[in-house]
Structure 1
Amino acid sequence: MSSFQERIKGKKKSLTTTEDKIIVQLQKHEKPFLLSMNELALLSEVSEPSVVRLYKKLGYNSYQELKVALAQELAEMKPPSLEEIDIMPGDAATIIFEKIGEQFSQAVAMTKEKMNLNHMESAVKKIMDSERLYFFGQGLSGTIAEDGAHKFMRLGGMTLSVKDPHYQAIYASHMNEKDMVIALSHSGETIDIINVCEMAKNNGAFVLIITSNDKVTLAELADCLLVTQAHETTRQADAMISRLVQLALMDTLYARVVAESGGEGKTNINRSRLAVTRMKK
């Protein structure tokens, strides 16, 4: 059976302005299934017969059937609270695994809400245009930087992961407009990363920042900014979920670049795979 949203999409071309007003109220109300037909009509500034025409057009036999469908769909969409998915001392391994999955799903949904498509496409284009690609990160973010470099080096060209702040500073001091830095910092306030990104930017490099907030110091240096979102629960202060969502964002960038690289990209990836395969028994 089609959902409420699917039914709206299916009838989108035939919906009237009056019906659109009703749909807007149903979508914006926190608990639309509690509204009487009269209340919905008043909020939408339409007549009750207009509400009847809408639910019939969407394939519901009655207004009550529409409300029940909305209640069920909203219950399925509601994410679990942080308390429900917090890892407890007595949790079995299977429960912990399931809770981590729920936390990751929430983080992906939150990051998608913050995702700027124009920034993503700008990052993809710049990655493809740059002659040298540097991944900067420290601590856990340095591990994500290494993973990102490992992916992108398969496409050929010069790709380098740098975790040591001294090495980062040396590379940044020699950069120019042909270089691109992808810098990761969940906090966005790591002093060494801020300093080397500022140096790289001043020397002409394009700086892509991946961080958790567009208000942090590091974000101010970004030529292109991508923001990840994650709630760490009370028993997980070690950035477990934020690390996973950073990996997912990096994979998304890589997949887009591969898609845009066409035949040449596939050829280079296959060449890389073959090189590694030859090292196996």
Structure 2
Amino acid sequence: MAFFGFKDIDKLSEVDMAIYRYIVDHDEQVPLMRVRDLSQGAHVSNSSVMRFIHKIGYSSFPEFKVSFKSENQDLMRSKSDVLNIIDRNAFPNDIEKTIKLVAHLMLDADNIVFFGMGGSGAIAEYASRQAASLGFNSYAVKDPFYPLIQQLHNTSNNVIVTLSVSGRTSEILETLNNFVNSPDTILVSITGNIESPIARIGRYALSYNIPETRIHKYYDLTSQVPCVYIVDGLLMELHNQDIDRKIE
């Protein structure tokens, strides 16, 4: 039996759900409560509480309290610090200045390309959509074999923002190498490795510091929260500079 893992929620009545929600919201107090305390807190009858206890698989209220206390303690141990993914120390001291410089480049760009693979590709799509919502000609490229060099042929004033946790993805590097000496395209990176090849070949590198996490060798579970922070900061700065320019 597991209260927090109870799977038949759809079988609970409205009264049952009121009890369930009350227990979840008062998880530390419930092991010290009597049936009467719980019924008063949830605004139901004592018999409704006992029917609920039996429905979720316990034979008595004391049995439920012992099991619930143990389960809740296990959850508290396992979920400690799960939201402490990032803080200001994850970014360089001059990150705000670099964001302003990159936003200034993007402000006058004819084409803004967000380039990434896997999870970074998903964030590239998000960034592109937000930039387009702000009125900029922006699109995302998630396929490293996409003919980007041909698409940007005979164009000028382009900015390619590459998203890569490792900054070492060979397929992405192969594409970017086509633009290293281009006078018409500026390369920018958002990466977790400031010393990586992708960071070094661009004009600006927006970086963050977070441990890489991989499972089964190939699957990257490294948090993308720092990258999203930078993307949102960059888009906000782009929007602010655009407003300031229109006011002048």
TM-score, normalization by structure 2: 0.60
1:30-49 aligned at under 5 Å gives the runs none
Pair 250,93 (structure 1): closer, same or farther in 2 beyond 3 Å: farther
Distance in 2 between residues matched to 1:120 and 1:178, nearest whole Å: 18
1:249 maps to what in 2? 230
Question: 1:91 offset after TM fit, Å?
Answer: 5.6
RMSD across aligned positions (CA): 3.1
8 Å Cα contact 1:172/1:197 also seen in 2: no
Pair 176,202 (structure 1): closer, same or farther in 2 beyond 3 Å: farther
1:194 maps to what in 2? 173
1:28-177 aligned at under 5 Å gives the runs 92=75, 96=79, 99-102=81-84, 104=85, 107-167=86-146, 169-171=148-150, 174=153, 176-177=155-156
Distance in 2 between residues matched to 1:113 and 1:191, nearest whole Å: 25
Q: Secondary structure at the match of 2:145?
A: helix
8 Å Cα contact 1:133/1:181 also seen in 2: yes
Pair 234,225 (structure 1): closer, same or farther in 2 beyond 3 Å: closer
- 1:137-162 C-alpha deviation (Å, 9 max, x unpaired): 01111111111111101012321101
Pair 113,221 (structure 1): closer, same or farther in 2 beyond 3 Å: closer
8 Å Cα contact 1:186/1:242 also seen in 2: no
Pair 192,232 (structure 1): closer, same or farther in 2 beyond 3 Å: closer
Aligned-partner residue type, residue 220 of structure 1 = R
Pair 175,255 (structure 1): closer, same or farther in 2 beyond 3 Å: farther
- For structure 1, the residue ranges without an aligned partner over 5 or more in a row are 1-89, 266-281
8 Å Cα contact 1:176/1:203 also seen in 2: no
Distance in 1 between residues matched to 2:179 and 2:131, nearest whole Å: 20
2:12 maps to what in 1? none
8 Å Cα contact 1:110/1:230 also seen in 2: no
8 Å Cα contact 1:136/1:184 also seen in 2: yes
Question: 1:239 offset after TM fit, Å?
Answer: 4.9
Larger radius of gyration: 2
Choose which of 180, 199, 204 in structure 2 pairs with 1:219: 199
Question: 1:110 offset after TM fit, Å?
Answer: 2.4
- For structure 2, the residue ranges without an aligned partner over 5 or more in a row are 1-72
8 Å Cα contact 1:172/1:200 also seen in 2: no
Pair 219,264 (structure 1): closer, same or farther in 2 beyond 3 Å: closer
1:55 maps to what in 2? none
8 Å Cα contact 1:169/1:199 also seen in 2: no
1:267-278 aligned at under 5 Å gives the runs none
Distance in 2 between residues matched to 1:234 and 1:186, nearest whole Å: 12
Greater share of residues in helix: 1
8 Å Cα contact 2:112/2:158 also seen in 1: yes
